[in-house]
Every structure is written in C-alpha cells, then in structure tokens.
C-alpha cells in the first residue's frame, strides 16, 4: 500500500511537472507571438507611411501637370468659339489661329487685319488631339487620386 501511495505521488508530481512545462511553453509562445505581432504592426505602419508619402508626391505632381495643362490650353483655344481648336486654320499675315469653321472670311476676327490666304496646320491639329486626350487622362487621374482609387485609370 505504501508503494502504491508512493507511485501515485510520483505520478502526481510528474503530471504537475508536465503541466508546468506545458504552461511555460504556452507562455513563451504567447510572448513570442506578441513580439512578432508588434513587429508586423511596426512594419505595416512603416509601409503605410511610405505609401502615403508616395501618394502625396503623386498628388503634387498631378497638380503641377494640371497647372501646366491649363496654361497650355489657352494656346490651343479658338478665340472665336472658345473651344479647343478643331481643324485649325491660321490667318495670314497675322498668324492668329482659329477653328476652320470659325475663320471669318475677309479678315482675322481677332485683329481685323486684312486677310491673306488661310493656312491649314496639320501638326497643330495633331497636337490639339493629343492635348485633348492628355487632358482627359489627367482629369481621370486627378479624380481617382482624390478618391484614393487608381483602378479606374485605363
């Protein structure tokens, strides 16, 4: 009977030791998980700050390009209809340019100088078309950057 009690006590002691070891392992793992979680959060925070910084730089660049576009638009605007030049025609000898439908026969509608031949400027027509596409693309980019969404830009 003494032997049985001693064996039972040894089993209880071994079980208590095993439980203590399990508890220590659990606590160690929890500590490690908390440290890993803190490191992951710090890494994520650093990445978030980097992305926010890049977004700020992008917004600033978009603003500068939009300002340049607005300044350039005045050079590509017909002073008669106030739209972008469509099929541009340049008056001679003054050099003012209008949409071909807006050119007034008999003189330049801007300076009233007697008109020579009207010249079609194919390169200016190409530039105006490209400018209009660029303006639309920049507008979409500006709207999406304000929304924080770049998926709609295509």
Check residues 103 and 112 and name the one with the higher pLDDT: 103
Check which CATH number belongs to the domain holding 88 and give it.
3.30.40.10
**Per the domain annotation, does 55 fall within a domain?**
yes
- Tokens of residue 91, six digits: 């008056």
Domain hosting 9: range is 2-147
**Per the domain annotation, does 154 fall within a domain?**
no
pLDDT at site 22: 94
Closest CA to 97 of 131, 133, 134, 124: 124
List pLDDT tens digits, range 41-57.
999 999 999 999 998 89
Confidence of residue 138 (pLDDT cuts 50, 70, 90): confident
**Per the domain annotation, does 60 fall within a domain?**
yes
Mean pLDDT for the chain overall: 85
**Per the domain annotation, does 63 fall within a domain?**
yes
**Per the domain annotation, does 40 fall within a domain?**
yes
Domain count, the chain: 1
Cα separation, 69 vs 63, in Å, equals 10
Closest CA to 128 of 100, 87, 94: 87
**Per the domain annotation, does 21 fall within a domain?**
yes
- Tokens of residue 73, six digits: 């638009």
**Per the domain annotation, does 152 fall within a domain?**
no
Cα separation, 148 vs 154, in Å, equals 15
Check residues 48 and 5 and name the one with the higher pLDDT: 48
User: Is residue 152 over pLDDT 50?
Assistant: no
**Per the domain annotation, does 81 fall within a domain?**
yes
Confidence of residue 62 (pLDDT cuts 50, 70, 90): confident
**pTM for the predicted model, two decimal places:** 0.55
């Amino acid at each position: 009977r003494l032997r049985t009690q001693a064996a039972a006590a040894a089993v209880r002691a071994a079980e208590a030791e095993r439980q203590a070891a399990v508890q220590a392992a659990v606590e160690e793992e929890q500590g490690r998980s908390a440290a890993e979680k803190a490191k992951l959060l710090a890494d994520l925070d650093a990445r978030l700050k980097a992305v926010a910084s890049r977004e700020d730089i992008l917004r600033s660049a978009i603003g500068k390009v939009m300002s340049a576009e607005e300044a350039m638009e005045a050079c590509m605007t017909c002073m008669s209809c106030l739209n972008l030049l469509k099929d541009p025609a340049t008056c001679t000898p003054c050099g003012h340019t209008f949409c071909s439908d807006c050119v007034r026969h008999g003189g330049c509608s801007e300076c009233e100088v007697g008109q020579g031949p009207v010249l079609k400027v194919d390169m200016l027509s190409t530039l105006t078309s490209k400018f209009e596409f660029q303006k639309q693309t920049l507008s979409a980019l500006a709207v999406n950057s304000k929304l924080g969404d770049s998926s709609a830009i295509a």
